[in-house]
Amino acid sequence: MEEYVIRCLLCGRSIPVSGQQADQLRAVKEGGTYICDLCRRRVRHESERQQR
Ligand SMILES: [Zn+2]
């Protein structure tokens, strides 16, 4: 099985993804911006706080 490594834009962590996941992420990968679950959650949390 092919494995890809994708890097989070915010924390710079390299996240290994399976070929299937990579297919789904290809669009994001080409754009050069991927944000891992952890950072995504944090960003969402912070933007919710800023709206108030
Ligand atoms: Zn991250």
- This prediction's pTM: 0.59
Distance 10 CA to ligand 1 centre (A): 5
Q: Tens digit of pLDDT per residue, the chain (52 long)?
A: 567 788 888 999 988 888 777 777 765 555 567 788 899 999 999 988 887 6
Handedness of CA 24, 29, 31, 34 (dihedral sign): positive
Residue 20: the pLDDT is 76
Distance 34 CA to ligand 1 centre (A): 8
Residue 29: the pLDDT is 54
Is-contact 13 36, C-beta < 8 A? yes
Residue 41: the pLDDT is 94
Distance 51 CA to ligand 1 centre (A): 22
Distance 46 CA to ligand 1 centre (A): 14
Distance 1 CA to ligand 1 centre (A): 25
